Amino acid sequence: MAATVAICDTLGDQAVSSKSKPRVLLLVDVPRWAFDFVAHQMVRILGDEFRLDIRYVRKRPRINAKKYDLLYVFFWGEDRYKRWDFPPDRIIKEVSSHRWRDDPTYGPCTPKQMAKKFLRDAHLVACTSQSMQEILEDHHPRVRLTSNGIDPGQFYPLARRTGPLTIGWSGNANVELKGLQSILEPACEGRFNLKVAPGNLSYEQMNEFYNSVDVFAIASRHEGQPITLVEAMATGCFPVCNRVGIVPELVQDQENGLIVSERTPEAYREAFQWCHDHLDEVRSRGAENAKLAHQIRNWEALAPNFRQAFHETLQAAKAPKFRNDDISWDTDLECLKQFCDVFHQHNYTQIHGAVLFGETNCTQQHDGVPCEYEGVTSIADIPNAEIRRLSADHALAERKDIIDYLNSIPDEVALHGLYHTDYSTMSVEEQRSDITEGLAILDELFPKKMIRYFIAPFNRVGPETANVCREFNLQMLAGTGVHLEAELPSFVVEENQMYRYHHHRFYPQSSFDYYQLDMQLLDEALSRVGEPNIKHSGVFKKIRNYFRAA
């Protein structure tokens, strides 16, 4: 089946979506550059199963997130998509560069800091190299390898190479970390012919360029890929590189290329001299490289990794979301374990809203009203300053038992406030300060969990709360979703639905009596599943197997 792609700038121009295919938005920076070329290949190799639309950040598109099942963000540092409010479970972010290391716009910062700042709203991170995957997999729960490739019809050997040794390099010559001026030009000066191609040539021009050189050189300080290495090898080049990006995946030192031991002009000059002295061998091994690249790095061979990433994210997007509010200093751990076990037995996980300071569990009453603190009416009815005063000496961090338990299960954790304060009465700066400190604490307490949601205390928000959350790559949750407590008698689990509730209201000691709630009724409710039977989908099978193994 032929692939289809819609390229347009506004919603009014969008083509009609195929009802039989999940619709995926591919967000690219600019037309006819590296990400755009990859996006078009994704359309070609995945168009039989997905409806893929390409949009360009430079053209400032207007997007309705409800029209799409998934969003694929090619550059991890992009932020325009935030205003479209895609839920985190529908976002994939690609990481194909190390710009957080030395680009002042995005760093410098550590991989952990980069993941917390730029990847917390992505359900899945797609890495273009094994080295990048290894760097990030300790800092995000779902990091997958999605290698980029070449179309053998675009990059292939032409005529047999003859004449003296020629060395090639391609890219933006003005980017210092690429090493053209500091490494390669001094290495070649006076000895070897160095040809340079800018990165904006057509496929035909690049194929001719690669075929005009014997050796393709890479001297970058760091690389996410580069795809030029695959293209060059596909045309029959012999690579001379330092150990960056995908180089270790494709180059066997002294077999089908050379990996220099030091990133210096002298080390590259020595490698180029070896190529000069063994030119026939360089060209022979280069011809074998073309066969290898066409076999293992053609897009069709790489398509399964993209399909798997898309399906995994689609599965998570369809799954029901269970939002549990009010994990705090006064949470009864044994009751919490029993409560979570009810969900786990039905192969469901929860999003636990954590309050970092204060009590939130209603175990007593004041003037007939359920309340958290003895002698004080409900915190829903007192000023923020009083809430902070009462909360200051009750830090969730002191409850190591709760922290350890939540770290031991696959459930998510969300920020439910530094204190359980009313955000609708807080200034933008107060909200920003609150979330900054709250995220720092949660990231420290739950290093393996990606904090993706902000749950507004009391479900109250100000006009700027959503924008503040976007600054931190958080999705704001307030009063939307099904109120499970109110719906419990007739409750049926359905796909694509958010359910909200408070765990402590189901406990025997709770003073909350607006609804009849207990864990047995919850267990019965979770047994009632609407069609289709999502309990047997892949994501829930994985969760079920997790608990069986434990």
pLDDT tier, 374 (very low <50, low <70, confident <90, very high otherwise): confident
pLDDT at 212 over 50: yes
Q: Where are the alpha helices (DSSP H) in 48-180?
A: 111-118, 130-136
Instruction: Give the single-character DSSP code of 425.
Output: G
pLDDT at 422 over 90: yes
Structure tokens at 13: 């121009």
pLDDT, averaged across the chain:
91
257/245 Cα distance (integer angstroms):
15
Long-range contacts of 55-59 (CB under 8 A, 24+ apart): 55/7, 55/8, 55/9, 55/25, 55/26, 55/27, 55/28, 56/9, 56/28, 56/29, 56/30, 56/31, 57/27, 57/28, 57/29, 57/30, 58/29, 58/30, 58/31, 59/9
pLDDT at 546 over 60: no
Q: Please give the pLDDT value at position 225.
A: 87
Q: Contact, 353 vs 475, CB < 8 A?
A: no
Q: What kind of architecture, by CATH, is found in domain 166-297?
A: 3-Layer(aba) Sandwich (3.40)
Q: Please give the pLDDT value at position 19.
A: 59
Task: Name the residue ranges covered by the structural domains of the chain.
Answer: 5-145, 166-297, 318-549
420/355 Cα distance (integer angstroms):
6
pLDDT exceeding 70 applies to what percent of the chain?
93
496/21 Cα distance (integer angstroms):
17
What is the chain's Cα-based Rg? Answer: 28
Instruction: Give the single-character DSSP code of 493.
Output: B
Nearest residue to 40 (alpha-carbon basis) of 148, 178, 163, 158: 148
pLDDT tier, 91 (very low <50, low <70, confident <90, very high otherwise): very high
480/355 Cα distance (integer angstroms):
19
Cβ-based neighbour number of residue 415 at 10 Å? 25
- SS3 assignment, position 56: strand
* pTM listed for this prediction: 0.86
Q: Is 3.20.20.370 the CATH number for 318-549?
A: yes
Q: Please give the pLDDT value at position 375.
A: 87
Q: What is the mean pLDDT of residues 19-46?
A: 92
pLDDT at 97 over 70: yes
- Indicate the burial class of 425 (C-beta count within 10 angstroms; 0-12, 13-18, 19 or more): exposed
Q: Do domains 5-145 and 318-549 have the same CATH topology?
A: no
Q: Which class would CATH give 5-145?
A: alpha beta
pLDDT at 251 over 50: yes
Order of all β-strands in the sheet with 475-477: 475-477, 453-455, 412-415, 351-354, 321-327, 498-502, 482-483
Is the alpha carbon torsion for 56, 62, 66, 67 positive or negative? Answer: negative
pLDDT at 1 over 50: no
Q: To 5 degrees, how large is the angle CA 413–CA 418–CA 423? A: 105
Question: CA of 481: how far to CAs of 78, 420, 459, 496, in Å?
Answer: 29, 20, 11, 10
Peptide bond preceding 198 in cis form (omega within 30 of 0): no
Q: What is the mean pLDDT of residues 76-86?
A: 93
Q: Please give the pLDDT value at position 6.
A: 40
**What is the total residue count of the chain?**
550
- The per-residue pLDDT for range 292-346, each reduced to its tens digit, is 999 999 999 999 999 999 999 999 999 999 999 999 999 999 999 999 999 999 9
- The per-residue pLDDT for range 480-503, each reduced to its tens digit, is 999 999 999 999 999 999 999 999
Question: CA of 446: how far to CAs of 90, 198, 215, in Å?
Answer: 23, 45, 48
- The per-residue pLDDT for range 502-542, each reduced to its tens digit, is 999 999 988 888 899 999 999 999 999 875 434 444 444 45
Q: What is the mean pLDDT of residues 191-220?
A: 93
- The per-residue pLDDT for range 48-69, each reduced to its tens digit, is 999 999 999 999 999 999 999 9
The amino acid at residue 407 is N
Q: Which helix (H) or strand (E) holds 519?
A: helix 519-526
- Indicate the burial class of 253 (C-beta count within 10 angstroms; 0-12, 13-18, 19 or more): middle
- The per-residue pLDDT for range 430-479, each reduced to its tens digit, is 999 999 999 999 999 999 999 999 999 999 999 999 999 999 999 999 99
- The per-residue pLDDT for range 172-197, each reduced to its tens digit, is 888 898 999 999 999 999 999 999 99
Going along 251-397, which residue ranges are E strands? 258-259, 321-327, 351-354, 364-366, 369-371
Least confident of 268-282, 379-393, 396-410: 379-393
Q: What is the mean pLDDT of residues 271-280?
A: 97
**Biggest CA-to-CA distance, the chain:** 96
